């Protein structure tokens, strides 16, 4: 019979894996909308439809918006700032340097999450835990290397690389806030606040780069809102029941889902190195599920 501790970590990993799979669609939207709409415009429209979805849900399954007011609005605002501007930093870096290199640097946020979990949340890491993190990280490095990351060096990349690193650190701090807020707030409260604040944080850059799009394109982008809300719901559920050092490395599965999406919709055939790295990431996830929680 599966022990309660094992089941707890396994459930958390499944929730975050599902959320990561849904977020892959959001990340791919930038490529799908390339030349049609500015990335900030896509994010803004996503927040509009996402927040609208949450308003409807709050009235259908609760007592309206005011019943989900938080006693920690500053923490929610800080989380939204970390998430919005961390993502914006990575988007900016990807535009100024090879996207694979920027992605590889941004994935360091997983290591930052583990370190911050130990320092700020006093999480303990066992030998099995270190092994799982090492296997997952090695798999991610192999995938990025097989795809051609860091094949060339250009001094001009140093500044955007530093911005990507700062973005990774901001995303890691956001993960810590997700963990702490999920312990004391309702899931819908967390979702409402981050989407409300995010809406205003991206409004100015979105309207400054706004491009004219037709109704069909607008509706397709708006459909991303409910998908993003579902993804955030899954991630919050996972972070609620397990340490960030357990669920943080699960984000490496983004490389698996991105590869699958590229194969299915863009004809991108993965190499042997990518498949081997993906297998290591999956193995790391299994090992994380075997780590007993506190």
Instruction: Using alpha carbons, select from 194, 174, 188, 209 the residue that is nearest to residue 90.
Output: 174
Measured distance CA(144)–CA(137) in Å, rounded = 11
Domain of 150 in residue numbering reads as 4-290
pTM of the model: 0.86
| pLDDT tens readout for residues 16-53 | 999 989 988 877 665 565 567 777 888 889 899 999 99
- 35: which DSSP letter? T
| pLDDT tens readout for residues 89-129 | 887 787 677 777 778 888 888 999 999 999 999 998 888 88
Answer yes or no: is pLDDT of 2 > 60: no
Q: Domain count of the chain?
A: 1
Q: Give percent of the chain with pLDDT exceeding 90.
A: 36
* pLDDT of the residue at 1: 40
Is the separation of the CB atoms in 216 and 39 below 8 Å?
Answer: no
Answer yes or no: is pLDDT of 233 > 70: yes
């Amino acid at each position: 019979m599966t022990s309660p501790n094992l089941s707890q970590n396994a459930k958390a990993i499944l929730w975050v894996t599902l959320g990561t799979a849904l977020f892959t669609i959001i990340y791919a939207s930038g490529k799908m909308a390339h030349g049609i709409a500015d990335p900030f415009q896509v994010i803004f429209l996503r927040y509009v439809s996402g927040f609208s979805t949450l308003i409807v849900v709050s009235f259908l399954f609760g007592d309206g918006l005011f019943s989900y007011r938080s006693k920690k609005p500053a923490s929610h605002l800080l989380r939204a700032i970390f998430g919005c501007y961390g993502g914006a930093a990575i988007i900016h870096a990807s535009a100024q340097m090879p996207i694979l290199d920027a992605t590889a640097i941004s994935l360091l946020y997983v290591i930052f999450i583990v370190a911050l979990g130990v320092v700020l949340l006093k999480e303990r890491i066992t030998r099995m835990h270190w092994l799982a993190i090492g296997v997952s990280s090695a798999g991610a490095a192999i995938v990025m290397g097989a795809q051609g990351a860091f094949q060339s060096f250009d001094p001009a990349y140093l500044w955007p690389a530093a911005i990507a690193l700062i973005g990774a650190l901001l995303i890691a701090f956001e993960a810590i806030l997700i963990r702490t807020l999920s312990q004391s707030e309702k899931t819908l409260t967390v979702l409402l606040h981050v989407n409300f604040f995010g809406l205003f944080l991206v409004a100015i850059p979105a309207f400054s780069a706004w491009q004219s799009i037709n109704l069909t394109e607008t509706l397709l982008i708006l459909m991303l809102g409910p998908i993003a809300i579902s993804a955030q719901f899954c991630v919050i559920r996972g972070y609620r029941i397990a340490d960030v050092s357990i669920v943080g490395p699960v984000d490496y599965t983004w490389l698996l889902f991105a590869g699958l999406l590229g194969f299915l919709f863009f004809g991108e055939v993965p190499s042997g190195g990518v498949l081997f790295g993906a297998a290591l990431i999956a193995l790391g996830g299994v090992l994380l599920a075997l780590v007993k929680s506190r």
